[in-house]
Amino acid sequence: MPKFNANLTMLFNEVPFLDRFQAAAEAGFKGVEFLFPYAFDKDAIAERLDKHGLVQVLHNLPAGDWDAGERGIACHPDRVGEFQDGVGRAIEYATALGCRQLNCLAGIAPAGVDAEKVHATFVANLRFAATKLEAAGIRLLVEPINTFDIPGFHLNRTAQAIALIEEVGSANLWLQHDVYHMQRMEGELANTIARHLPKIAHMQIADTPGRHEPGSGEINYAWLFRYIDQLGYEGWIGCEYKPAAGTREGLGWIQALAG
């Protein structure tokens, strides 16, 4: 059976954030992830993880002003100092939380900036972050995101991410494969996962349309989960979906599709 973890940004959001750790544990999850921890005291989060026996699987590097619509700053030439400061802050949190993976959101390409400069900035920032995280014993991940949900997002296909990883040239840069995003952008899920499995450090799931629970849409998750197991994937799979009718009410998909 795949090793699922709960994304606390999207699941159990009917309760305050720090109470979601208990809710996740009571629902049977052994690991959690979320977008950002930075609005909360890292010791308070660490205490919840320890109290409920949870692994902090993943969180993101700081990504600019999320509430204002920013979705990452790693490709912004005028935000390099801010990005580098964010790497240091992320390492502090990840170390306190025992988190061994951090995801870097590329961001929406800034308007009016030369595309080559945008790309070169992203490559340089990833090299910086990969080096700093490696020294701290933390993996750096990059994630392609579909441009239907986030128009203009700089990194949006698997092949693009793999080429980027090769260009950066760090052994500490990995792929986060989000099944939902890649179904929307390119399909061909099984062959793509198999081809790039050695570089996939983390997966995330949701169905489409709607980004609801697995089994609610067009993706044959029962088959895909078996296939991923057969490939020998040993990482976590993050449940990053919008519950259609409440998190607890919708968790039956785990036994139905992956049991």
pLDDT of residue 33: 98
Confidence of residue 170 (pLDDT cuts 50, 70, 90): very high
User: Catalytic one among 143, 166, 188, 218?
Assistant: 143
Confidence of residue 10 (pLDDT cuts 50, 70, 90): very high
Q: Is 14 a catalytic residue?
A: no
pLDDT, tens digit (0-9, with 9 covering 90-100), for 96-152? 999 999 999 999 999 999 999 999 999 999 999 999 999 999 999 999 999 999 999
61 in any annotated domain: yes
Q: Is 240 a catalytic residue?
A: yes
96 in any annotated domain: yes
User: Catalytic one among 14, 186, 188, 240?
Assistant: 240
pLDDT of residue 220: 98
- Half-sphere exposure (CA, 13 Å, Cβ side) for 73? 19
224 in any annotated domain: no
pLDDT of residue 1: 78
Nearest to residue 183, comparing CAs of 158, 160, 201, 164?
Answer: 158
Burial class (CB in 10 A: 0-12, 13-18, 19+), 69: exposed
Token look-up 């992956």 returns 258
225 in any annotated domain: no
The encoded tokens of residue 189 equal 């899920």
User: How many structural domains compose the chain?
Assistant: 1
**What is the average pLDDT score of the chain?**
97
175 in any annotated domain: yes
The encoded tokens of residue 188 equal 């061909």
* Domain residue limits at 194: 14-198
pLDDT, tens digit (0-9, with 9 covering 90-100), for 230-243? 999 999 999 999 99
Burial class (CB in 10 A: 0-12, 13-18, 19+), 61: buried
CATH of the domain at 177: 3.20.20.150
181 in any annotated domain: yes
209 in any annotated domain: no
Give the C-alpha separation, 156 to 136, whole Å.
Answer: 28
144 in any annotated domain: yes
pLDDT at 62 over 90: yes
Confidence of residue 259 (pLDDT cuts 50, 70, 90): confident
